[in-house]
Chains A and B, each alone.
Chain A
Amino acid sequence: MLWLKTLGIVMVMTGFGSWGLNQARRIRQRVEQLKNLRLALNFLQKEITYIHTPLPQALKRTEQFSVYPVSVLFQEVACSLGERQGNTAREAWRKGMHKLSSHSELSRADLELLATLGYQIGMSDASEQERVLLMVQEELKILEEEALKACESGQKLWSYTGFVLGAVVVLLLI
């Protein structure tokens, strides 16, 4: 019976520990994704305001510039606009956001901020596009800094919490 108990303890500890480590990884990844998103929007802004690249091509180039999972957003929006089925940029952006939310660790607040871009993207002059894209990038920078602070304290907390919880459960079961 001892081997069964030992196996149980190992499984509980591993399960809770992995859960804690996974939570810590998600916090760390959110910071990284916010940064990548900001850089991608900066690239898109230059494509729009300096080169005046049409939106589907600008999004395709931003997709190539950006890294996963941020690239998923631009890929989906570019693909949706490329279908030429009468989709507006707002609808395509909404589709892309939906896909991004299932692939990324971005929070609800991050996604809500990003959603505001859908109302404006493509459908105004270059100076207005620049203004909107800069504003979203600034807001993303703030979210990124907050996420970084949360990561510094939260990462260790979640890493330990998993194992501590596992130990508590083991003690209770014994």
Chain B
Amino acid sequence: MIEYILAVVLFAIGLYGVIVKRNLIKIIIGLMIMEYAVNLFLALIGYRSGGAPPIVEVGKNQIFVDPLPQALVLTAIVIGLGTTALLVSFAVRIFEKYDTFDVRKIRKLRG
């Protein structure tokens, strides 16, 4: 149970980063920490004590870990990279136009 609580604490640290920080790169870092925490939590849910990786050897009777959360996390990791790349490209374009990463100054300059 304490592993679940630690995963939720990691998610909460990422959430704190998104709410409080005012540098765009720090906000992106907070989003990435949240995404790592969610993948970690999903992989923790599917673990079975004494289980083996879900590769079946025909003829032997084994205990496997749950393969369904692994299938979910496998695509989630690659999608996370796509999302991060798009966010970073937006941040780079904003820096090119306003010459700062600070979200308060970006809000002030309009037009």
B is a partner of A: no
